[in-house]
Each structure stands twice: as C-alpha cells, then as structure tokens.
Amino acid sequence: MNDSIGPASCRGLSDTVPFQPAWITGSIRTHAGRIPVISTRLTRRDRLGAIRVCLGIGRMRYAVLPGLYAAGRPGPSSPVLVTANYKLTFDRLRVRLDGIDAWILVLDTQGINVWCAAGKGTFGTEELVRKIQDVGLDRVVGHRILVLPQLGAPGVAAHDVRRETGFRVEYGPVDAKDIPRYLADGCRVRPGMRRVRFPLKDRLALIPLELIQAFKFVPIFLIWVIALRFIRDHRISGEIIKDFIPYLTAFLGGSVLFQILLPWLPFRSFLLNGWLLGMAVIPAVSLAAGVERSFLPSLLLMLPPVTAYIAFNFTGATTYTSLSGVRKELARGLPALILSVVAGMVLQIVMIR
Amino acid sequence: MQMRYLKNVTTLALDISKCTGCGMCAEVCPHAVFRIEGRKAVIEDRDACMECGACARNCAPGALSVRAGVGCAAAVIAGKLRGTENPACGCSGTGCCENG
Ligand code: SF4
Ligand code: SF4
C-alpha cells in the first residue's frame, strides 16, 4: 500500500524524486533538520481509505511513517501533540489543526489506533522515549511539555517519560475534536472531555465489521436448514427461504439490532441482553414470515443463544467492558447457552421425523 | 446515556497509605472512577472501571493496582482455547470508529 509511505522512507524509481504522500505540503527548517508540513484537509483519497477500512475491505495496515510532522508554521514554543501512526487516527487529528501551529509526534504503533496500541504497549513509554530522542525533539522545541491523547495513558507512565527525557506528559482530551478548544484554553481539559462515550454514531460505524465477523454463522445455518428440509420432504423447495428467516433474524439481531439498542437493553450482561433480544425478535419475525407455530419452541432453544453469542463478541468493540466482566460472563453463561442450542437442535430433528 | 457493565468484578485496588494525592489517576481514567479528597484518592465509582490500567500505570508511588486487559470476548475465548491465561488483544485495532 502506498498509504504506508511517509516523508522519507520510500523513494520512487528515480532516487532524486522522493515519494511524498499527498498530505505532505512542504517542509519547515528546524535545529533538528527539515520537518514535513502536513495538510489539515482530507482529500478524496483520504476519505476513500477511511471508508475501505470501515467496511473491512483489505484490513491492511493503514499506516503513516512515524516521526515528527508540522501543522501550520510551528516554532520552538508550539505545542507537541503525540499520536499513533494509524492513518485514520492521524487524519482525525490533523483535520482538527486547521489554523493551529503545532508539532505532531507520530509513534510507531504498527498502524494501530491509540487505545488498542496503548493496551498492547506499542503506544508506550519506551516507544515515546525512543521517538523523542530519534527526532531530536529537545532541539525542535524550547519547552518540555508533550500533549498525549488520554486514551494513550494505559501504555504510558508519565513519570517515567519525565525521568528519562525531561518532558512532562499532559493528557489531553479523549476526543481529537476537543483539541482546538483544549489548546485555546491553555491545555486545560474541560469537564466531560475526559469521559469515553459510546454514542450511536460510533456503534453504527462498527456494524459492518460485526456483520463480517458474525457471517460465519450464515453458511452453517444454511446447511442446517437445507438438511432439515431435505429430511422432511426428501427434496429441496422454496420453503427453505421461509425456514431460514428465524436464523437470519438471530444473525442480524446480534450484529445490528443489538448494537443500536445497547443503551436501552435492561441487563448489564451482554449474554443476557443478547439472549433477551433474540427471545423478543425471533418469534415475532418468524410468525410474521409464516413459520409454523409448532416449531417455535425448538427455534427458541436454538437461536437466542446464537444472538447472545454474537452480541457478546461486541464487548471487544465497546468502550466500557472489563476483562474480569467478560471472564465472568463466559464462565457463567456459555455452558447454559451451549446446552440450550443442543437441546433445540435435538428437538428440531425429533419434530420433523 | 451511560452504559455500564457487570458489578463487583473489577480487580482495581487502592493502597491509600502510598497515595500522595497527585491526582494523576483522576486525570487519566476514562470513566471517572476517582475523586481526590483531602489529598487522597477515593474510588468513587468502582463498577465503572473497565480495567484499562491507565491509573495504575500513571500512579508514580504505586498505590494503585489492577489486572489490566481487554474486555473482549473474542480475545478471552481465543485465550481459553489456546490455554493462555492472559488473552492477547486479537483485534486489529483498526476499527474505523474506535476512539483515538
Ligand atoms: S495517582 Fe496514585 S498517588 Fe496519585 S492520587 Fe491517584 S492513587 Fe494517589
Ligand atoms: S483501570 Fe482504567 S477504568 Fe479502571 S479505574 Fe483505572 S483508569 Fe479507570
């Protein structure tokens, strides 16, 4: 991918013409050498890249070259903003810097966003210290303050960074959109800027990936439905479309409906909420689609647990679930769900024979 | 609307005798778990903790501890299947809307 090519890493066929991504618009001279200046506007190419990643197409490492960049015309007293080298994270920051003079220190997080990288430790103390030294930051700026995204804090020990480099870490707002406000306020975080939220907009954007991850159930369901119909009628007919509706509902319930309704579901447990959602929508949709009433008990043993399982996997994308909580749910809930599915399958087979 | 996960599960622990009241934990916590009162940290909203580990990492005197990890079912299940206790985050971390 050309997107992973940064200011000086890669050269074209001709050695004299270094390749530059379109978002680098020039360079600025400092005591630590020339620093590339970035555009604060997104191009069509940037936007297309974002959509591709959203839809899970390619899932390539979508990265920028780590190092120091300039936004506007920064000088020795301009703030230093630290970020990850995941292109979308970088883009989300630079579009907020229109009209702001700042340095951007991009850490090598292997093309992963700040939060995940902080959890893995790649957005971490060691990498930050290394980058500060690599780019010669102490020669670029006169002050000794770094602004880090708050979500980088799980990986960075501010006191260790200070001890090793002399730079003081300030944790800025969670959301890049608050950066201009924060800088204008003299690096003061307003109430609310420290909280992680999980609004509908974010949940909707995750649905394509949830669909892709849960899609593995669809072929399994199809084979099951076709096999049952064949045992029953000794031939395959259009009936399988109707037969498939409850299964499709279970799949979409866990990977679309659950994400939308999350704040309004009554329990804390993802498994319970997912199961309840399945229990509510699967019979309603099935009856409307003309599925025989007598099949409902077996379908309700089999399918809500699948909805619950798919929904449970959404814990990985949320912003508030804990490891201990996930473990507890798994230990308590999973055996019951498996039992229910098996019972439902047996009942289905018994009924058609 | 605030979403909340399971009660009484977090491994977060505060050793008040080591706390200097520096306020770092309150600053880095994304779920406002702490309050600083009388130059000491107070765990105010324990059940909001997602075990990200930010507070413990940034507590210079080492007053805080938490078993940090990702609350991700896929990672925990994969860890169980492979028999490793500490599941690695299996996510690519490139989801389009993930914060930061
Ligand atoms: S970071 Fe540690 S020392 Fe500072 S207030 Fe919190 S618990 Fe106390
Ligand atoms: S582990 Fe994370 S969520 Fe829990 S109290 Fe510490 S900073 Fe807050």
Please give the C-alpha separations between residue A253 and each of A71, A214, A262, in angstroms, as whole numbers. Answer: 44, 11, 11
The answer to the question of residue B85 being in a domain is: no
The answer to the question of residue B17 being in a domain is: yes
In a shared domain, residues A41 and A96: yes
The answer to the question of residue B28 being in a domain is: yes
| Segment A62-108, tens digit of pLDDT | 789 999 999 999 999 999 999 999 998 999 999 999 999 999 999 99
Domain count, chain A: 2
The answer to the question of residue B77 being in a domain is: no
Q: Return the residue of A nearest to B1 by Cα.
A: A263
| Ligand nearest to the CA of residue B43, numbered in listed order | 2
Average pLDDT (B51-77) is 93
The answer to the question of residue B74 being in a domain is: no
The answer to the question of residue A1 being in a domain is: no
In a shared domain, residues A322 and A239: yes
The answer to the question of residue A62 being in a domain is: yes
Which residue range(s) make up the domain with A162?
24-184
In a shared domain, residues A95 and A232: no
The answer to the question of residue A64 being in a domain is: yes
Q: Which of B12, B15, B17, B22 to mutate to test the pocket of ligand 1 (most atoms within 8 A of CB)?
A: B22
| Segment A117-172, tens digit of pLDDT | 998 889 999 999 999 999 999 999 999 999 999 999 999 999 999 999 999 999 99
Q: Which one of B5, B51, B74 has the shortest CB-CB distance to A316?
A: B74
* Cα-based torsion angle of the residue sequence A260, A262, A265, A267 in order, rounded to the nearest 10 degrees: 160
CB contacts of A323 in chain B (<8 Å) are 51, 67-72, 76, 87
The answer to the question of residue A195 being in a domain is: no
Domain count, chain B: 1
In a shared domain, residues A89 and A127: yes
Find the CATH number of the domain harbouring A136: 3.40.50.11600
pLDDT at A224: 94
The answer to the question of residue B43 being in a domain is: yes
Q: Name the minimum distance, in Å, from the CA of A150 to any CA of chain B.
A: 6
pLDDT string in tens for chain A (353-residue length): 333 333 333 333 333 345 678 889 999 999 999 999 999 988 888 888 877 776 666 555 678 999 999 999 999 999 999 999 999 899 999 999 999 999 999 999 998 889 889 988 899 999 999 999 999 999 999 999 999 999 999 999 999 999 999 999 999 999 999 999 999 999 899 888 999 989 999 899 889 989 999 999 999 999 999 999 998 888 888 889 999 999 999 999 999 999 999 999 999 999 999 999 999 999 999 999 999 999 999 999 999 999 999 999 999 888 899 999 999 999 999 999 999 999 999 999 998 87
Alpha-carbon gap, residue A238 to A223, rounded angstroms: 15
Are A202 and B80 a contacting pair at CB < 8 A?
Answer: no
Alpha-carbon gap, residue A87 to A92, rounded angstroms: 8
Q: Which amino acid belongs to residue B14?
A: L
First to last CA, chain A: 55
In a shared domain, residues A177 and A106: yes
Q: Which residues contact B64 (CB under 8 A, 6 or more apart)?
A: B12, B13, B14, B15, B25, B41, B55, B56
**Cβ(B19) to ligand 1 under 6 A?**
yes
| Segment B3-31, tens digit of pLDDT | 899 999 999 999 999 999 999 999 999 99
Tell me whether A317 touches chain B (CB under 8 Å). Answer: yes
In a shared domain, residues A178 and A224: no
The answer to the question of residue A191 being in a domain is: no
Alpha-carbon gap, residue B63 to A58, rounded angstroms: 44
Which residue range(s) make up the domain with B54?
13-66
First to last CA, chain B: 21
In a shared domain, residues A179 and A249: no
In a shared domain, residues A32 and A168: yes
A124: nearest Cα among A175, A158, A88: A158
The closest-lying atom of ligand 2 relative to the alpha carbon of residue B25 is: 7
Find the CATH number of the domain harbouring B29: 3.30.70.20
pLDDT at A61: 62
In a shared domain, residues A229 and A286: yes
Question: Greater confidence, B98 or A185?
Answer: A185
The answer to the question of residue B22 being in a domain is: yes
In a shared domain, residues A180 and A220: no
Which residue has the CA at smallest separation from atom 4 of ligand 2? B49
pLDDT at B98: 46
Are A316 and B91 a contacting pair at CB < 8 A?
Answer: yes
Q: Which residues contact A235 (CB under 8 A, 6 or more apart)?
A: none
Q: Which one of A113, A171, A320 has the shortest CB-CB distance to B27?
A: A171
**Cβ(B59) to ligand 2 under 6 A?**
no
Those of residues 259-288 in A touching chain B at CB distance below 8 A are 262-264, 268-270
Residue B21 CA to ligand 1 center (angstroms) comes to 5
Are B97 and A53 a contacting pair at CB < 8 A?
Answer: no
The pair phi, psi for residue A243, each rounded to 5°, is: -60, -30
Are B99 and A174 a contacting pair at CB < 8 A?
Answer: yes
In a shared domain, residues A160 and A285: no
| Ligand nearest to the CA of residue B68, numbered in listed order | 2
Please give the C-alpha separations between residue A220 and each of A64, A141, A248, B96, in angstroms, as whole numbers. Answer: 39, 59, 11, 28
In a shared domain, residues A155 and A279: no
Neighbours of A15 (CB within 10 A): 7
The answer to the question of residue B49 being in a domain is: yes
